């Protein structure tokens, strides 16, 4: 059940929970006291006795209580493609998934390359009263890759970082200028790593599976070349670079080496790239057509190793809603992308359930790490921080069923998958916005 909740929350004590805070390493039994929009107290002293002080007490019954999730790459259809997703439908899906903050891509209509659009998105999100929305600004005007947008002014208006979204900044000189400009203001440039001259017309990962299916392949070098080029531009400019959704073994290794040299390079991946491989396409299953494409099993394992050794900094849902008319087409002409707001927690927890990382490490990729990267006051259970909380059962099993998702579009690559990890309650600024049935 989703609800906007009380807009003027009082004092609420969430007691009897397993407190999990990746930012501090906290893993203990206790509770969280919220007052208004902020966290007032955290720890074992927050207990049921607080009811005697007139505080509303919510018994967490031993479930895990953690900071609300931060999804650092979400495509919202609003404005421009409301038929695929809206701020309201994305907000409902996000709160069901325990996501209290979303960072939205600039691929809207109009593009988020102007201060007025940044302010429009922020204002519309506040009116919904659901997950908080922070916009990326476009690196180039109109996402055309030619002229740098007004990065400084966009940052002043609320843009937390800069990307051309699904489009790579292909021109090296333009990317160089963007990095130099961004460095002046200590801004972060996020790149979709795909050399377009190698990927244009491609439908899936190049290799034996593509050949067997008769589909045009996208060589993995399209990702690797772009990442290696941009790392060289970081050396040249000193600008901060974040690489989105790494999916190949060589890409992970390139970032690993760049970090070893002390370069300001970070990266993320998305659940499909550590939980699926190109076999998921099966017989032309368009829900598994993504950008970048699903890779070979060796790449999937390399991404897992990059998560384990800290090369990969964050995990993002890469939420890309596509309507039925865009997906239920022959594979070659179907749109790329999958929804991921409601599956981000459960699929990320597979890393924990499979023994690759601890539960705190798994949560860190979707809470404290993106909060630090984007300098958000979120992702931490601490006094004075926003009361953005997620209560969840890490072991509760459920089956992903596309038709039951709250996202307006249903194109999940995980349709039919059995997962573990379910959200029981989501709290934003002290307001309960979702309670599981």
- String of DSSP letters for 402-417: GGG-SSSS---TTTT-
Active site residue 253: no
Share of the chain above pLDDT 90, in %: 95
Token duo for residue 291 = 């950008």
CA distance 25 to 15: 19
pLDDT surpassing 50 at residue 4: no
pLDDT in tens, 194-220: 999 999 999 999 999 999 999 999 999
Please name the residues in contact with 138: beta carbons below 8 A apart, sequence gap of 6 or more: 106, 111, 112, 113, 149, 154, 162, 163, 164, 165
Show Cβ contacts of residue 18 under 8 Å, excluding neighbours closer than 6 positions: 27, 28, 29, 62, 63, 64, 65
- Beta-carbon neighbour count of residue 48 at 10 Å? 14
Collapsing DSSP to helix, strand or coil, 241 comes out as strand
* Catalytic site residue from 71, 164, 318, 388: 318
For 367, the token pair is 């809470």
Cβ count near 50 (within 10 Å) = 19
- CA–CA dist 9, 27 (Å, integer): 27
- Mean pLDDT, residues 71-98: 95
Residue 62 Ramachandran class (φ > 0 left, ψ -120 to 50 alpha, else beta): left
216-263 pLDDT tens trace: 999 999 999 999 999 999 999 999 999 999 999 999 999 999 999 999
**CA distances from residue 147 to 141, 175, 176, 228, 304 in whole angstroms, order as listed:** 6, 10, 12, 23, 37
Model confidence pLDDT, tens digit, residues 359-408: 999 999 999 999 999 999 999 999 999 999 999 999 999 999 999 999 99
Domains of the chain: 11-65+387-435 (2.30.40.10), 68-373 (3.20.20.140)
Token pair of 363 as six digits: 């949560």
Which segments of 151-245 are extended strands (E)?
A: 162-163, 188-191, 204-205, 217-218, 240-243
Rounding to the nearest 10 degrees, give the CA dihedral for residues 266, 272, 277, 281. -140
Q: What is the tens place of the pLDDT at every residue in 302-332?
A: 999 999 999 999 999 999 999 999 999 999 9
Is the preceding omega at residue 292 within 30 degrees of 0, hence cis?
Answer: yes
């Amino acid at each position: 059940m989703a609800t906007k909740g009380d807009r003027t929350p009082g004092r609420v004590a969430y007691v009897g929970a397993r407190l999990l805070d990746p930012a501090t390493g906290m893993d203990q039994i206790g509770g969280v006291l919220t007052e208004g929009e902020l966290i007032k107290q955290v720890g074992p002293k927050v207990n049921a006795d607080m009811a005697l002080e007139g505080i509303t007490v919510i018994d967490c019954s031993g479930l895990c209580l953690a900071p609300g999730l931060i999804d650092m790459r979400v495509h919202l259809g609003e404005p421009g493609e409301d038929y695929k997703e809206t701020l309201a439908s994305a907000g409902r899906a996000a709160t069901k998934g325990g996501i209290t903050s979303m960072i939205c891509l600039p691929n809207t209509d109009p593009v988020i390359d102007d201060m007025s659009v940044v302010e429009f998105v922020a204002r519309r999100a506040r009116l919904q009263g659901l997950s908080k929305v922070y916009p990326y600004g476009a690196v180039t005007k109109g996402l055309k890759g030619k002229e740098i947008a007004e990065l400084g002014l966009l940052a002043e208006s609320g843009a937390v970082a800069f990307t051309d979204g699904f489009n790579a900044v292909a021109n090296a000189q333009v990317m160089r200028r963007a990095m130099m400009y961004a460095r002046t203001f200590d801004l972060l440039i996020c790149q979709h790593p795909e050399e377009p001259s190698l990927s244009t017309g491609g439908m899936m990962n190049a290799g034996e599976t593509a050949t067997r299916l008769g589909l045009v392949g996208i060589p993995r070098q399209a990702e690797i070349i772009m990442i290696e080029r941009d790392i060289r531009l970081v050396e040249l400019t000193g600008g901060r670079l974040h690489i989105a959704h790494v999916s190949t073994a060589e890409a992970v290794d390139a970032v690993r080496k760049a970090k070893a040299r002390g370069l300001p390079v970070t990266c993320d991946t998305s659940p499909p790239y550590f939980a699926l491989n190109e076999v998921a396409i099966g017989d032309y299953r368009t829900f598994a057509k993504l950008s970048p494409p699903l890779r070979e099993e060796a790449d999937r394992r390399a991404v897992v190793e990059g998560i384990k050794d800290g090369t990969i900094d964050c995990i993002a849902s890469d939420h890309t809603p596509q309507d039925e008319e865009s997906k239920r087409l022959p594979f070659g002409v179907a749109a790329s992308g999958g929804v991921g707001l409601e599956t981000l927690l459960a699929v990320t927890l597979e890393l924990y359930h499979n023994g690759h990382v601890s539960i705190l490490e798994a949560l860190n990729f979707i809470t404290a790490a993106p909060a630090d990267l984007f300098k958000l006051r979120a992702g931490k259970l601490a006094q004075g921080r926003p009361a953005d909380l997620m209560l969840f059962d890490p072991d509760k099993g459920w089956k992903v069923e596309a038709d039951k998702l709250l996202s307006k579009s249903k194109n999940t690559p995980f349709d039919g998958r059995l997962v573990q990890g379910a959200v029981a309650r989501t709290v934003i600024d002290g307001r309960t916005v979702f309670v599981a049935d």
